[in-house]
Amino acid sequence: MTVKDFFDLTKIYSAVTSVMPTLLGFMFVGVYYRDFNLGLSILLFIAVVLFHLAVNVHNQYVDYYKYQKQPDVFKNSVNNTLNRRQISPQLAFKTMSALAIISAIIGLYLVFQTGFFILVVGLISFAIGYLYSGGRKSIAYSPFGEVVSGLTMGYNITLLAVYVNFYNDLNFEWSFIWKTALVSLVAVFAISNIMLANNISDASEDLKVGRKTLVAYLGQEKSKLVWVVSYFVGYLAVLSSVVLGYLPWYCLAFLVVTSPLVVINSIKFIKKPSKALTFVNSVKNAQILLVSVLVGGLISFL
């Protein structure tokens, strides 16, 4: 397997959906709680990215066999990397296992260092990572894929990033769970919108392989409306976080400044949803939103 094959198999570009919430959690705990552990943060970052890549390979691995049940779709599909890159299922499985095992080892070390809270959240995330495409009735083939992916990556990862830096604080308070929930909503909706945009773009092919996502139930037009409203709710979450003092006002200021870019990207996607042409706009929007909040938080340190 070449480096390009590995990058394509793991969908490494999509790791931004795990990287950004991790950085958001680091920024929030630094700004609000004034705590930061560089060593544990680096380990968590590595574990999160590796697990994300493992889940991506697992998705491709499972889809490979599901697509084979539809020969015509499988032959013409460019969505499955194993088919397009001619990667054997055995090699994909070994790659997935290696990534997951390394991530799990780092995760267990973090558990011993910080406590069982991280184990509970980690096990939930691992279970969802498997059930997203595995099992007889996978989440990816249901109308709950967007919600589950948004909460798992947007909230769980942000929560873990806060906890590993805050667990030994003398003034530890469990309200960090709810405060982190509000702060992370911008990530939750940005990430769920990437999944929703993907399903809007793949609506016709998904139905051919029996994948009944949210789009199959709402239709493309209503799904587009949900997509737009989700961004609006993300902005409201940041506004609320600033008003409550969880985030500095710089975060909101940078969101406002960059909002025209989000609007332009959204209009392009709404007019012509396409996996090849405009789906990337949802990824760009997520990057713009989360980078804006991160930059605002970092500037507050100056």
Q: Give the CATH number for residue 266.
A: 1.10.600
Helix (H) or strand (E) holding 210: none
| Mean pLDDT score, 119-140 | 82
Residue-level pLDDT at 37:
92
Residue-level pLDDT at 223:
93
Residue-level pLDDT at 213:
85
Residue-level pLDDT at 270:
94
| Mean pLDDT score, 124-151 | 83
* Residue 19 confidence class, pLDDT cut points 50, 70, 90: very high
| Mean pLDDT score, 79-96 | 82
Q: Specify the number of domains making up the chain.
A: 1
Please give the mean pLDDT across all residues of the chain.
Answer: 88
Eight-state DSSP code of residue 13: G
Reported pTM: 0.90
Could you tell me the residue range of the domain that residue 238 belongs to?
3-299
Least trusted range by pLDDT, from 10-14, 52-56, 267-271: 10-14
Dihedral (CA of 181, 185, 190, 196) sign = positive
Residue-level pLDDT at 233:
96
Which of the two residues, 45 and 134, has the higher pLDDT score? Answer: 45
Q: Terminus-to-terminus CA distance in the chain, angstroms?
A: 45
Residue-level pLDDT at 98:
95
Residue-level pLDDT at 72:
57
Residue-level pLDDT at 142:
84
| Mean pLDDT score, 251-267 | 95
- Closest to 289 measured CA to CA, from 253, 260, 262, 249: 262
Percentage of residues of the chain with pLDDT beyond 90: 58
- Closest to 211 measured CA to CA, from 141, 114, 262, 159: 141
* Residue 68 confidence class, pLDDT cut points 50, 70, 90: low
Summarize pLDDT for 145-204 with one digit per residue, the tens. 889 989 999 999 999 999 999 887 756 788 899 999 999 999 999 999 999 998 898 877
Which of the two residues, 2 and 196, has the higher pLDDT score? Answer: 196
In angstroms, what CA-CA distances link 71 with 58, 203, 204? 21, 18, 16
| Mean pLDDT score, 82-106 | 89
Residue-level pLDDT at 79:
61
* Residue 73 confidence class, pLDDT cut points 50, 70, 90: low
Which of the two residues, 23 and 204, has the higher pLDDT score? Answer: 23
